[in-house]
Amino acid sequence: MKSLGKWLLHPVLVAGVVLSVLPFVLPRIGSSASLATEIAIYALYGLGFNLLLGYTGLVSFGASAFFGAASYAAGLAMLHFFNNIYLSIIFGTIASAVLGLIIGLLILRRRGIYFSLLTLAFTQLFYEIAFKWTDVTGGENGLQGIVRNTLVSPLAYHYFVVAVVLCGIYAIWRIVHSPFGRVLQAIRDNQQRVLCLGFDTTRFKLVAFVLSSTFIGLAGSLLTFMIQSVYADNLNWQHAGDPVMMTILGGIHHFLGSTWGALIFLTLGDKLSSITEHWWLVFGLILIAFILLSPEGVSGIWMRLRGRGDRWSLTEQEIPPQSKSVSLLNMESAAPVRADTPVLEVRGLSKRFGSLVVADKIDLTVKARTLHSVIGPNGAGKTTFFNILTGLMSHDAGTVSFLGRDITKMAPHKRIDSGLARSFQIVSVFSHLTVFETVRVAAQARSPYRASLWRDAYRLPDVCEKAWTLLATVGLVERAYELCSNLAHGEQRLLEIAVALATNPELLLLDEPLAGLGDADRERIGTLIRELSRRHTVLLIEHDIDRVLSLSDSITVFHQGHVIAEGEPSRIANDPAVLEAYLGRHGTRRTLSTSSESVARPDRAPLLTLKGVGAGYNTSDVLQNIDLEVREGEVVALLGRNGVGKTTTLMTIMGMLAPSRGSIDFGGKSIASLPPDQVNRCGIAIVPEGRRIFPNLTVLENLTLAQREGGWPLEEIYRLFPKLKMRQDARGENLSGGERQMLAIGRALCAPQRLILLDEPFEGLAPSVVAEVLAAIEQLRHKTSILLVEHKVDLVLDFADRAYIMVNGQMAYSGESRALRDDVETQTKFLGV
């Protein structure tokens, strides 16, 4: 019974019934029956358009160009070649498809806004041609004299059109549920991730573009024989808005959205135009109202009425049932690989951005079925290294060979095909797909039907079973029906791993899989990774040093683009060079260390107070229950390993992130709900992570932009950093790392401030520059309070008054920095290797 109900509500059937009865309904409300035919044609037009917008995420203004061009092609074919409706329609459709292929090949390489504007230019070009090339197109008068020699009666033609349109709708229904169509929806959410699953995304988009132009072309050809003439009007850019408007009215992310849109658009237009000639006035208002109040159009309203919230209905909601006995991934079953064979060999890999060296002659060998970790302080070049390995980023010199093959020049998706897989540092899943679908699309990359247009993707048993197995392995079976965006952070991390595993990789590249996780999740994922390394070779980037040391077979340490150590965990843990890189032990000793009186000042009034603050992004709280205090004139260090939430704390203080719990007071006043500009005007300045210098402004402009009455005068900033004066006319983008840092500090001083937040001021700087920046910060301490985030511990402890240490979003330690300086045990426990 249920299946019958489902069958009766099948979108194709629903559309069929509605379009069939329209010629009888419309005259009753005073419209002509021929409007019904037009609605059917526009329904197909809208669906073809939405294949790009709603499914692939491409904003094209080219739809009307294909619609119009096909109309002309069909009309001209009728007049000059065939004198046969059917052949002419087929001709028009094919012409549009070919045109789509040519234009697609030309412009799909351009991204984002440039792609959209190019489609608009093509539309206008076509319009001009159609309008001006009078000999062929009839210009302003259009193409006349097209006579329907069969299907003469309007009703007969209507049912012919309905039949053809329904075939088109059915074809699109199949396509969006096919492996091919499912990949399109993944591309819409995250193109780079799809590329990293081994799909050639450019080709997928090209096929989508051609398919879209084919369906639109079919609709355009049908229109020719409905009005029995062709006008250039349909090519005009204002008509490029027609499918856009239908889709907004109906609902972008609903399969039949544009069909309902077409119905409303044309009927309403017809009714309104009989009342007033200024019906666009009403229409414009309706459109604006929909965008503001119901961005998913009437389908969105319908969904809300049915209590489904803002759920999308681009495809069927159901996912295939899991088979009776879902097994876990068998860790022993993988094909045997001779131990000790190198899986990955990197030789002399180098890469620089301008003057910044991010990889300098890196050599690295990863042996089969081992867990090899890459560690190193922030900015060491680890993620860059992964990006080069996967082909997302080009490099300057060196070779990469994988399983004995040179892959140095291979395209990213081909590398994945040959057995590489990666997870991403920033969780990178498909936010509008279900958890099951996300893993399934990844598993599909290995199926022979991975680009099939006609099969039902959910009826590929191997792929579905694989997806269930992976979900069971990472423990997400219960969450399979959930949208990825609704997962907690830890679950998304697990999903990342499942996705990376789905392509059966020989080598798994995991980029900080533990970042931002609590202890329980760390334990769980750490164990999983260890187990996986029996089945795959794993190359792991991770900052959780304790776990890296206990899990890894071997470790390579990066520092500022160099390999500074390599070997077994026990050796690395005691390597002096590594200790130095992490803690700066034997690094730059400051000259002023004794002069500054680093004594806690409990007598001073509190300036900034955080109590029980929690904050985070989307669903997951990165910060939990943070207490922190900075008093007048104090220098406070906020320490902790990478990814524990230090930057998030600063951003929450600044008002960039609203705290979910707790209070933030500054100078006796609550600032928890203030926007960033007002927080700054209260007297908190920030030197942010990555410096965030405006690249298109000169040094002087960067400074004067921030200048306010009561801030430091320019001369004093120049006295602090004489280099800035020498470079004052250079653009921000041409500065070196050290100069950027000085500028960022200088910029923070330009407005009056009582507290400066410094986020990793020494990151990526050469030792001599570190000393220079440090000396400047020394001078600041007498004029303002400082909250300093840093991971070079000894550098900071020498002159901070008090220190806090964060571990995984919580405060783990607070005390006088002197005490901490001498407490090597605590340092090592929370911060060291």
Q: Does 676 bind another protein (CB under 8 A)?
A: yes
Distances 88 to 223, 229, 316, 709 between C-alpha atoms, Å: 12, 13, 35, 74
Q: Given the rule CB under 8 A, which of 25-33, 226-234, 624-632, 675-683 is the region that contacts another protein?
A: 675-683
Q: Does 272 bind another protein (CB under 8 A)?
A: no
In whole angstroms, the minimum distance from the beta carbon of 711 to another protein comes to 10
Q: Where are the alpha helices (DSSP H) in 456-518?
A: 461-474, 489-501
Q: 212-231: which residues touch another protein (CB under 8 A)?
A: none
Q: Could you tell me which residues are beta bridge partners of residue 804?
A: 638, 814
Residue listed under structure tokens 């005073």: 30
For another protein, the binding residue among 701, 772, 816, 823 (CB under 8 A) is 701
- In eight-state DSSP terms, residue 245 is H
The token pair at 397 is 């010199």
Q: Given the rule CB under 8 A, which of 307-315, 344-352, 361-369, 702-710 is the region that contacts another protein?
A: 702-710
- In eight-state DSSP terms, residue 254 is B
Whichever of 9 and 113 has its CB closer to another protein, that residue is 113
Q: Does 281 bind another protein (CB under 8 A)?
A: yes
Contact 578, 572 (CB under 8 A): yes
Query: Angle formed by the axes of helices 154-177 and 201-227, to 10°?
Result: 170
In whole angstroms, the minimum distance from the beta carbon of 57 to another protein comes to 9
Distance between CA atoms of residues 579 and 573, nearest Å:
8
Contact 735, 699 (CB under 8 A): yes
The token pair at 721 is 């950093």
For another protein, the binding residue among 81, 86, 133, 481 (CB under 8 A) is 133
In whole angstroms, the minimum distance from the beta carbon of 299 to another protein comes to 16
Total residues at the site for another protein (CB under 8 A)? 63
Q: 764-774 burial, b for 16+ CB within 10 Å, e for fewer? A: bbeeebbbbbb
Q: 71-110: which residues touch another protein (CB under 8 A)?
A: 106-107, 109-110
Distance between CA atoms of residues 509 and 538, nearest Å:
6
Q: Does 248 bind another protein (CB under 8 A)?
A: yes
For another protein, the binding residue among 14, 79, 98, 121 (CB under 8 A) is 121
In whole angstroms, the minimum distance from the beta carbon of 791 to another protein comes to 22
Q: CA nearest 178: which of 498, 453, 385?
A: 453
Beta strands 356-367 and 342-353, pairing class? antiparallel
Q: Does 688 bind another protein (CB under 8 A)?
A: yes
For another protein, the binding residue among 10, 308, 708, 719 (CB under 8 A) is 708
Whichever of 181 and 655 has its CB closer to another protein, that residue is 655
For another protein, the binding residue among 21, 25, 102, 125 (CB under 8 A) is 125
- Start-to-end CA distance of the chain, whole Å, equals 64
In whole angstroms, the minimum distance from the beta carbon of 103 to another protein comes to 10
**E strand map for 304-411:** 342-353, 356-367, 371-375, 397-402, 405-406
Neighbours of 255 (CB within 10 A): 25
Q: Does 731 bind another protein (CB under 8 A)?
A: no
In whole angstroms, the minimum distance from the beta carbon of 586 to another protein comes to 36
Burial level of 169, CB count in 10 A (0-12/13-18/19+)? buried
In whole angstroms, the minimum distance from the beta carbon of 176 to another protein comes to 19
Q: Does 696 bind another protein (CB under 8 A)?
A: yes
Distances 330 to 291, 476, 477 between C-alpha atoms, Å: 50, 17, 17
Q: Does 159 bind another protein (CB under 8 A)?
A: no
The token pair at 331 is 């860790």
Q: Given the rule CB under 8 A, which of 94-102, 364-372, 546-554, 690-698 is the region that contacts another protein?
A: 690-698
In whole angstroms, the minimum distance from the beta carbon of 745 to another protein comes to 13
Q: 750-789: which residues touch another protein (CB under 8 A)?
A: 751
Whichever of 158 and 188 has its CB closer to another protein, that residue is 188
Q: Does 573 bind another protein (CB under 8 A)?
A: no
Q: Does 59 bind another protein (CB under 8 A)?
A: yes
User: Phi/psi at 32 (nearest 5 deg)?
Assistant: -80, 155
Q: CA nearest 39: which of 158, 128, 185, 203?
A: 158
For another protein, the binding residue among 80, 111, 271, 589 (CB under 8 A) is 111
In a 3-state reduction of DSSP, which class is residue 405?
strand
For another protein, the binding residue among 87, 453, 697, 714 (CB under 8 A) is 697
- In eight-state DSSP terms, residue 133 is -
For another protein, the binding residue among 11, 154, 241, 587 (CB under 8 A) is 241
User: Phi/psi at 401 (nearest 5 deg)?
Assistant: -120, 140
In whole angstroms, the minimum distance from the beta carbon of 296 to another protein comes to 10
For another protein, the binding residue among 118, 162, 548, 720 (CB under 8 A) is 118
For another protein, the binding residue among 201, 647, 680, 808 (CB under 8 A) is 680
Q: 283-302: which residues touch another protein (CB under 8 A)?
A: 283-285, 287-288, 291-292, 295
For another protein, the binding residue among 15, 26, 244, 672 (CB under 8 A) is 244
Q: Given the rule CB under 8 A, which of 266-274, 597-605, 695-703, 806-814 is the region that contacts another protein?
A: 695-703
Q: Given the rule CB under 8 A, which of 126-134, 555-563, 576-584, 717-725 is the region that contacts another protein?
A: 126-134
Contact 542, 512 (CB under 8 A): yes
Whichever of 176 and 244 has its CB closer to another protein, that residue is 244
Q: Does 648 bind another protein (CB under 8 A)?
A: no
In whole angstroms, the minimum distance from the beta carbon of 254 to another protein comes to 15
Q: Does 710 bind another protein (CB under 8 A)?
A: no
Whichever of 525 and 653 has its CB closer to another protein, that residue is 653
Q: Does 667 bind another protein (CB under 8 A)?
A: no
Q: Does 275 bind another protein (CB under 8 A)?
A: no
In whole angstroms, the minimum distance from the beta carbon of 773 to another protein comes to 20
Pairs from 453-456 (Cβ < 8 Å, separation ≥ 24)? 453/174, 453/175, 453/178, 453/180, 453/181, 454/174, 454/175, 454/178, 455/178, 455/179, 456/174, 456/177, 456/178
Q: Given the rule CB under 8 A, which of 127-135, 206-214, 367-375, 625-633 is the region that contacts another protein?
A: 127-135
DSSP secondary structure, 524-569, as one string: HHHHHHHHHTTTSEEEEE-S-HHHHHHH-SEEEEEETTEEEEEE-H
In whole angstroms, the minimum distance from the beta carbon of 695 to another protein comes to 6
Q: Does 113 bind another protein (CB under 8 A)?
A: yes
Distance between CA atoms of residues 490 and 191, nearest Å:
23
Q: CA nearest 627: which of 613, 638, 641?
A: 613
Contact 51, 212 (CB under 8 A): yes
Residues engaged in binding another protein (CB under 8 A): 59, 106-107, 109-114, 116-118, 120-122, 124-125, 128-129, 132-133, 237-238, 241, 244-245, 248, 252, 278, 280-281, 283-285, 287-288, 291-292, 295, 654, 656, 675-681, 686, 688, 692, 694-697, 701-702, 704-706, 708, 747, 751
